[in-house]
């Protein structure tokens, strides 16, 4: 009897910018994503993170915001009220994009750290589309991946503690697409790294 071969994973690097700590009371203002790479039984193959990308700026879902959180992204809430995409439209477009780029594979969201971005992304997907192309747990945290390979406690990990050769050559700009592309480079470096 032939052994079951799992479907490949298609890793999608996601970064979001938001105006507060949690979704619902606060808003996801921008969403950037790119294909980081693909993994099957033969191993991991990095993708060009600029080849398949997605970016939207969204209309806020509430009036509440934390000024310090808003300042990080530099996005203008008043402009987004007028010009931002309706969340239901943007998230439906995002889900369709994920399904398209992951055809034949299971999509996995990856982020650094994934917990914040995943919280907003999953809440928005469920609230505005009723489903997630990643399922309820298709999420990989790069910080945890590094901690495991480096044999370090998770709370001891920061990008500044990583070996220089793992760090991406791109700057972290707090623009969601720029940062998704930067994170994709980090992810591929981590996947290739044998660890300690």
Q: Which residues are identified as catalytic?
A: 174
Q: Tokens for 63?
A: 């009036």
CA 16 to the chain's CA centroid: 7
Q: Report yes or no: 140 and 114 within 8 Å, Cβ to Cβ.
A: yes
- Count the residues in the chain: 196
CA angle 188, 190, 193 (to 5 degrees): 110
Phi, psi of 133 (to 5 degrees): -65, -15
Euclidean distance between CA atoms 9 and 6, whole angstroms: 9
Q: Tokens for 32?
A: 């950037």
């Amino acid at each position: 009897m032939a052994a079951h071969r799992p479907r490949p994973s298609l890793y999608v690097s996601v970064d979001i910018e938001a105006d507060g700590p949690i979704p619902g009371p606060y808003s996801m203002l921008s969403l950037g994503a790119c294909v980081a790479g693909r993994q099957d039984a033969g191993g991991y193959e990095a993708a060009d993170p600029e080849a398949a990308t997605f970016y939207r700026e969204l209309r806020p879902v509430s009036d509440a915001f934390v000024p310090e959180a808003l300042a990080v992204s530099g996005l203008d809430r008043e402009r987004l009220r007028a010009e931002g995409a309706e969340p239901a439209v943007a998230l439906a477009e995002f889900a369709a994009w994920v399904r398209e780029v992951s055809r034949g594979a299971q999509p996995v969201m990856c982020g650094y750290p994934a917990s914040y971005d995943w919280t907003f992304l999953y809440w928005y997907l469920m609230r505005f589309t009723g489903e997630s192309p990643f399922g309820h747990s298709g999420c990989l945290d790069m910080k945890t991946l590094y901690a495991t390979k480096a044999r370090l406690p998770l709370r001891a990990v920061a990008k500044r503690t990583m070996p220089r050769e793992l760090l991406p050559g791109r700057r972290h700009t707090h623009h969601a697409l720029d940062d998704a592309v930067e994170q994709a480079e980090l992810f591929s470096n981590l996947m290739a790294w044998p660890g300690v």
